[in-house]
Amino acid sequence: MSNMATTTETTATTEAEGGHGSAFPPLDASTFPSQLLWLAIAFGLLYILMSRVALPRVAAVLEARRGRISGDLARAKALRDETQAVIADYEAKIAEARKQASGIAQGARDTVTAQIDSERAAIEQKLAKQVADAEARITASKQKALADITSVAETAAQDIVASLTGGKVSAADAAKAVADAAKG
């Protein structure tokens, strides 16, 4: 009994101090129907507000984003294709420039080679003329030297015979003796 007395005493104290004698309102079974009605009205209004205002705006934002992303991707693809075309054109122009440079270099080499060959031919011709002139001078000098040697030999032969034998030899005899000695 003491347990029951404590509960009654607590309830009486709460009522006496200005407390309410009823249960907590959301948990009061007598207010359930009105709470459910207001819950249904609030849920319905929130559903209508979300489906008619908020969700279409979110859907529009998502669609705009999707469209912008698709546009950006298409633009990026177009730019990539354009870049590849420019790179291919650049490489073709570089190859053409290299080909032209090679042709110009070959032309320059051919021109220089032709100039060198013509100068070499001119120098070889000049040298051949100088060699021929030198050979002619050498031949003339040789013949003159041979002629001089013959006359010196004849004079020497006359002098040698004169000093050895004390007699004189004629110039014709000395020339004949030098010629016989040269032959053999």
pLDDT per residue as tens digits for the range 127-160: 999 999 999 999 988 888 877 787 888 788 878 8
Q: Could you give the CA distance from residue 87 to residue 74 in angstroms, rounded to a whole number? A: 20
Reduce the secondary structure of 31-96 to three states and give it as a string: HHHHHHHHHHHHHHHHHHHHHHHHHHHHHHHHHHHHHHHHHHHHHHHHHHHHHHHHHHHHHHHHHH
Q: Could you give the CA distance from residue 109 to residue 138 in angstroms, rounded to a whole number? A: 41
Position 179 pLDDT exceeds 70: yes
Q: What is the pLDDT of residues 9-39, one digit of tens each?
A: 555 444 545 555 677 877 888 888 999 999 9
176: confidence class by pLDDT, cuts 50, 70, 90? confident
| Main-chain phi, psi angles of 70, to 5 degrees | -65, -45
Overall pTM > 0.85: no
Domain boundaries, the chain: 44-183
Mean predicted lDDT score pLDDT of the chain: 85
Under DSSP, the state recorded for 119 is H
pLDDT at 174: 78
Q: What is the pLDDT of residues 88-129, one digit of tens each?
A: 999 999 999 999 999 999 999 999 999 999 999 999 999 999
